[in-house]
Amino acid sequence: MFQRRYTAAVADDDAGRNPPGIGAEGFPPILTTAQAAELLHVHVEYLRRMVREDRIPAHRFPGGREIRFHRDELIAWVKAQPGHDRSPSAEDKATVEDR
């Protein structure tokens, strides 16, 4: 699925149009486990383990089998994780702050 979305974004970009985005904007607000794993670039089984260990925000339906994720909660969770920000926008911010 990611490959299909990425290929479509590249094709749109090559055509001179604005690509639909392969980032979080391309995902619905409520995600299945497979969609959440794709968004986070992790294996589905790893994501399920994180849910079992209460390490990531998730919501279970009554009965406990189906899991859903709020896209914005996942994005906020990722931003709250410790680590070095290697995004291009972070480099731009650092350059401006150094001046």
Contact residues for 78 (Cβ-Cβ < 8 A; gap 6+): 40
Whether residue 89 is predicted with pLDDT greater than 70 in this model: the reply is: yes
Over residues 6-20, mean pLDDT: 41
Place of tokens 């410790």: 82
**Fold exhibited by the domain 29-98:** Multidrug-efflux Transporter Regulator; Chain: A; Domain 2 (1.10.1660)
Beta strands in the chain (DSSP E): 30-31, 59-60, 67-70
Q: Is the pTM of this model over 0.75?
A: no
pLDDT tens digit string along 47-81? 999 999 999 999 998 888 899 999 999 999 999 99
Q: Where do the structural domains in the chain lie, given as residue ranges?
A: 29-98
